[in-house]
Homo-oligomer: A and B are copies of this chain.
Amino acid sequence: MDAALSSFHRPAIRSHDRLDSATATRSAKEQSFYVVIDAFSCDERMKLEDETTVKTTTKSLRIVEFVHEHNGAGITEIATQLELSKSTVYKHLRTLEQERYVYKGDGDVYYVGLRFLSLGVGARRRRRIYETAKPEIQRLAEESGEMANLLVEEHGRGIFLYRADSSRAVNLDTHAGREVYLHTTAMGKAILACLPERRVDEIIDRHGLPEMTEHTITDREVLFEDLETIADQGWAVDREERLKGLCCVATAITDPDDTPLGAISVSGPRSRLKDGKLVDELPELILNIKNVIELNVAYE
């Protein structure tokens, strides 16, 4: 039973994917990364988790996540993988189905329900920046001729809220809802650069600095140096740090009091984003749009 829970803490999956081979399936795998808990902190952690945590709920969520990551799953498969009894999994799924969080397709396979979409879209709408930034992101995509994105931070991770494609769009894994590590993207780093050092340390402690490509920053010192540069110049760049072949320029959108509300970016294949465009042309364009959005957010 304890083994059941520990099985969720998988080692990082290094995805040295090329841009053109990025698929939706792979994104699910990436998301299942958790920092491995080392043996020493176990007592403390157990204390905390046992006393203040509802284990049954955790179990239900794990089941849903399993179904999600596998694009549908049957009871036996889930029970085996999660080291739970079939009857337990059965009851959890029945409950979730009754509440419309999962549904049973043909042939006894359970799928994640669209109820999650209702709540998720509500959560997105609640972010002030979303509606304000959307039209500007579209403009950004048009004027740059590349893909433009909006990302926000939650629980120390980045979540894509919106993406606008230009006509030259590349098929990419960054749908709305996609979760990424902040240190692996230009948008993430732009947000980190706005946060107090203490906060950044907390985030690194919680999520680590997993390596996605050979260019990913995996060293705390190096990251902090980069963040300083970003804070100075006002924009961040990502040269294939999350995905091989993909480059981005980004800047954070902040409150009047410098709290980051999210970040916007332009991203495209390395072949089209040479240095001239990447560090001259695009930063200027992005900073313009940043200003417009910040004004609109402030006086909405």
How near does chain B come to A251, taking the closest CB pair, in angstroms?
A: 21
How many monomers of this protein are in the complex?
A: 2
In the complex, chain B residues whose CB is within 8 Å of the CB of A101: 61
A120 touches which one: B94, B95, B99, B121 (CB < 8 A)?
B121
Q: A198 an interface residue at 8 Å Cβ cutoff? A: no
Chain A residues bordering chain B, tally (CB within 8 A): 54
A64 touches which one: B64, B90, B119, B177 (CB < 8 A)?
B119
How near does chain B come to A142, taking the closest CB pair, in angstroms?
A: 16
In the complex, chain B residues whose CB is within 8 Å of the CB of A56: 54, 56-57
Q: A29 an interface residue at 8 Å Cβ cutoff? A: no
Beyond the given A112-B122, A122-B177, please list 16 additional residue pairs across the A-B interface where CB-CB is below 8 A. A24-B125, A53-B91, A56-B57, A57-B60, A57-B99, A58-B99, A65-B119, A100-B154, A112-B119, A112-B120, A113-B155, A116-B116, A116-B122, A117-B117, A117-B123, A117-B177
Chain A interfacial positions (CB closer than 8 Å to B): 24, 28, 31, 52-54, 56-58, 60-61, 64-65, 68, 71-72, 90-92, 94-96, 98-101, 103, 111-126, 152, 154-155, 157, 159, 161, 175-179
